[in-house]
């Protein structure tokens, strides 16, 4: 059985979700719950840090699709950072860079959220 | 040829020679460059620079054929490089369908096709010379040479780009297959319908970047076939609630969904054919098929990236949706099987309990033989028999058949048994009102059961000392009493079947004197109504024949004769009712 873990921490204005292990059809529900809890707590500036993620499937990607409208309607965003080349390739293949901001380093995304909203 | 002889001509020749040598140098340089570079932009800008410099042109452009989106589509061109094209009024287009028109619009009077041996790969478009003179033949030859040198490089680059694009498509295909594989794994363990559908929408929205979708199913489980089963939208995301609340569009929506349910392959939704769905930004319908049937629909909007769905995307969606539908179907069948197994287990328990209510060991007496058997049918039935020793000289004997089969029959049978046992607790040989007891039991059964449930019953008390049998028959198949010399009578005194009407008139009873060699044979209709292949019942006559022929036999032997005749009569494995029989023999003759 695939293992997956996520942990949440604050960085300035942003909430960082660090994901690790395999994010697939089995484990997608865990991440979904984590994000839903954050939205319930009115945390809308989310950064997903992929440093320790080993594998992502479409179901995993679907989790981000499921929340992006809600988050943006509330003036927030979901940004991505620290993807390995393998993980980035999957996002890139499916066209995610057109819809989501992807940063090399987490602090770049944090800085972006620190900017006054236009 | 002596040069000095024609100095004028020589001058001209020298100028031409110089020009020619410059041309050759340009071509040579170009050729070297082209061979060493795969960078298309570099090659193109070199060519543009060369012609613009040589002819002092202010405008030039190179068009390159665009990769075909699909086979058979007319060729279109991309503006690969343009110089001096921007005007105040318009900026140059990026995609060009008609190169002649483009050349006209941007004042590029010379249009030189760039061709390889195989195909046209583009155009070199040049503006007019500052002198406004047309290009001379030799100038055209130079330009054409340049174009043909560039052609194979452009071709190489195009092939390289196509390969890159194919590679990317291949990667996307691999990713789609990975997703399908992932889904298949998940479906194997996911048990509930909602879980499966959740996984499907999650994966599809992630894979295809779809933010608007709905899942629609035909409601199943309608009792009558004629019931119109409405298509029901079960899951939706990103769809305005008006789609579900607007009464006016409801019928129109239903009819659009019904049309889609007749489709066997994914379909693009048009405003003309599907106005309601189209108005809600839905653009694609994917049937969810199990075998030859469309059981559900996945309907979605365009991609958030606006990139159109490719044939391969449709294939992916179709596979994913149909696999989910099969998984849902399997989950349903699995749940049904579990339910059925649970029910069967309960029925098995009920049957065990029921069989436990029948006597396991028959009491033994001197001068009397007792034999009994109960062969239950496949289903739990409602046959009952009992032999209870009341005291040193009295035995209670009963046989009964409850209407129907299954749990209701078995509950009623246990109710009867419990009533009998309670009443018999009060048994004393002096003044025991047996017929009165049957009357009371009838009232109990009548009060405890619906009117369509009843019991045929025969019971009696055997007095071993007085050699009498005191019996009541409540609508049961009359038992036989056969004497040693083959004389036969039936025991009929009693009253109505138990449980139909309350006891208004007391049950009658009869007391029969028994002599040595008498045989009492009690049975249920499972014996007489056993049918052979020709649908002939075993019947009373066959029973009577066996009993008369067997007056000299022991009780167990008589019983076995009857049962084996019945089982010969009835085809194996087709016993439809419980078979119960009791045989009591007073001292063999």
| Half-sphere exposure at residue B392, Cβ-oriented, CA atoms within 13 angstroms | 1
In CATH terms, the superfamily for domain A35-118 is: STAS domain (3.30.750.24)
Lookup result for tokens 């066959």: B542
Please provide the average confidence, as pLDDT, over all residues in chain B: 84
Q: How far is CA B323 from CA A47, B206, B288, in A?
A: 34, 17, 8
Of A25, A32, A69, the CB nearest to B182: A25
Has the ipTM of the complex gone over 0.90? no
Find the helix or strand (DSSP H, E) in which B482 lies.
strand B480-482
Model confidence over B84-130: pLDDT tens digits? 887 645 667 778 888 888 888 888 889 999 988 888 889 999 988 88
The pTM of the full predicted model, rounded to 2 decimals, is: 0.59
Of A24, A25, A65, the CB nearest to B205: A65
Looking at CA atoms only, how far is residue B304 from chain A in angstroms?
8
| Half-sphere exposure at residue A38, Cβ-oriented, CA atoms within 13 angstroms | 28
Q: How far apart are CA B63 and CA B50, in angstroms?
A: 17
Model confidence over B122-156: pLDDT tens digits? 999 998 888 888 888 888 888 888 888 888 778 88
Distance of CA B479 to the CA centre of its chain: 55
pLDDT at B225 over 50: no
**Domain covering B359-586: architecture:** 4-Layer Sandwich (3.60)
A interface test, pick of B182, B239, B300 with most A CB neighbours within 10 Å: B182
pLDDT for the residue numbered A44: 94
Q: Identify the DSSP state of B81.
A: E
Of A32, A57, A62, the CB nearest to B178: A57
Which CATH fold would you assign to the domain B190-334?
Answer: Beta-Lactamase (3.30.450)
Looking at CA atoms only, how far is residue B307 from chain A in angstroms?
9
Same fold, B3-162 and B190-334: yes
Looking at CA atoms only, how far is residue A24 from chain B in angstroms?
7
Q: Which chain A residues contact residue B235 at CB under 8 A? A: none
Give the torsion through C-alpha atoms of B327, B333, B334, B339, to 10 deg: 150
Domain spans in chain B, listed from the N-terminal domain onward: 3-162, 190-334, 359-586
3-state secondary structure of B263: coil
Looking at CA atoms only, how far is residue A40 from chain B in angstroms?
19
CATH number for the segment(s) B3-162:
3.30.450.40
Q: How many cross-chain Cβ pairs, A to B, lie less than 8 Å apart?
A: 83
Q: How far apart are CA B572 and CA B589, in angstroms?
A: 35
Q: What pLDDT band is residue B268 in, cutting at 50, 70 and 90?
A: very high
Identify residues of B whose CB sits under 8 angstroms from chain A CBs.
168, 171-172, 175, 178-179, 182-183, 185-186, 189, 198-199, 201-211, 237-238, 303-305, 307
Domain spans in chain A, listed from the N-terminal domain onward: 35-118
Of A24, A93, A98, the CB nearest to B171: A93
């Amino acid at each position: 059985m695939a293992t997956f873990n996520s942990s949440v921490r604050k960085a300035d204005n942003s909430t960082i979700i660090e994901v690790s292990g395999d994010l697939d059809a089995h484990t997608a529900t865990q991440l979904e719950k984590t994000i839903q809890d954050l939205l319930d707590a009115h945390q809308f500036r989310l950064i997903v840090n992929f440093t320790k993620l080993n594998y992502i499937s479409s179901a995993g990607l679907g989790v981000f699709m499921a929340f992006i409208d809600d988050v943006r309607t509330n003036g927030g965003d979901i940004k991505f950072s620290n993807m390995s080349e393998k993980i980035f390739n999957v996002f890139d293949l499916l066209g995610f860079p057109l819809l989501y901001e992807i940063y090399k380093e987490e602090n770049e995304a944090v800085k972006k959220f620190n900017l006054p909203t236009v | 040829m002596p040069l000095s002889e024609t100095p004028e001509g020589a001058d001209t020749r020298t100028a031409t020679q110089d020009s020619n040598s410059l041309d050759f140098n340009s071509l040579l340089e170009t050729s070297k460059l082209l061979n060493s570079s795969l960078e298309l932009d570099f090659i193109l800008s070199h060519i543009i620079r060369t012609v613009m410099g040589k002819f002092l042109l202010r405008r030039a452009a190179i068009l390159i054929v665009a990769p075909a989106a699909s086979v058979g589509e007319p060729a279109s061109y991309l503006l690969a490089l343009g110089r001096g094209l921007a005007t105040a009024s318009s900026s140059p287009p990026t995609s060009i369908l008609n190169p002649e028109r483009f050349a006209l619009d941007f004042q590029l009077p010379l249009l030189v096709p760039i061709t390889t041996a195989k195909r046209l790969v583009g155009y070199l478009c040049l503006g007019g010379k500052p002198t406004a003179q047309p290009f001379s033949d030799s100038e055209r030859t130079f330009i054409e040479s340049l174009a043909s040198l560039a052609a194979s490089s452009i071709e190489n680059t195009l092939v390289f780009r196509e390969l890159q694009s194919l590679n990317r498509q291949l990667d996307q295909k691999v990713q789609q297959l990975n997703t399908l594989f992932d889904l298949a794994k998940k479906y194997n363990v996911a048990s509930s319908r909602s879980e499966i559908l959740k996984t499907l929408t999650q994966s599809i929205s992630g894979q295809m970047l779809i933010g608007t979708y709905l899942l629609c199913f035909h409601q199943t489980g309608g009792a009558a076939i004629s019931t119109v089963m409405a298509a029901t939208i079960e899951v939706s995301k990103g769809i305005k609630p008006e789609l579900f609340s607007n009464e006016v569009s409801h019928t129109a929506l239903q009819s659009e969904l019904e049309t889609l349910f007749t489709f066997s392959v994914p379909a693009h939704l048009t405003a003309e054919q599907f106005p309601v769905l189209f108005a809600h930004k839905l653009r694609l319908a994917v049937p969810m098929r199990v075998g030859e049937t469309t059981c559900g629909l996945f309907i979605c909007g365009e991609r958030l990236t606006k990139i159109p769905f490719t044939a391969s995307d449709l294939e992916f969606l179709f596979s994913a949706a149909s696999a989910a539908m099969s998984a849902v179907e399997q989950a349903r069948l699995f749940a049904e099987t579990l339910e059925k197994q649970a029910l069967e287990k309960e029925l098995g328990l009920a049957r065990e309990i029921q069989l436990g209510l029948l006597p396991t060991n028959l009491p033994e007496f001197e001068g009397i033989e007792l034999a009994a058997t109960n062969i239950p049918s496949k289903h739990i039935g409602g046959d009952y028999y009992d032999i209870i020793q009341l005291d040193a000289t009295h035995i209670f004997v009963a046989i009964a058949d409850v209407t129907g089969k299954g749990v209701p029959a078995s509950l009623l049978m246990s109710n009867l048994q419990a009533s009998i046992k309670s009443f018999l607790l009060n048994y004393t040989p002096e003044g025991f009102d047996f017929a009165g007891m049957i009357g009371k039991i009838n009232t109990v059964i009548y009060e405890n059961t619906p009117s369509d449930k009843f019991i045929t019953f025969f019971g009696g008390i055997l007095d071993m000392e007085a050699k009498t049998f005191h019996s009541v028959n409540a609508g049961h198949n009359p038992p036989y009493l056969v004497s040693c010399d083959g004389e036969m009578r039936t025991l009929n005194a009693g009253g109505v079947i138990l449980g139909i009407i309350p006891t208004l008139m007391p049950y009658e009873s009869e007391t029969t004197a028994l002599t040595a060699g008498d045989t009492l044979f009690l049975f249920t209709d499972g014996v007489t109504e056993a049918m052979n292949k020709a649908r002939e019942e075993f019947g009373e006559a066959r029973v009577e024949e066996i009993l008369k022929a067997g007056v000299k036999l022991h009780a167990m032997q008589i019983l076995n004769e009857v049962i084996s005749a019945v089982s010969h009569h009835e085809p194996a494995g087709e016993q439809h009712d419980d078979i119960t029989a009791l045989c009591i023999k007073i001292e063999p003759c």
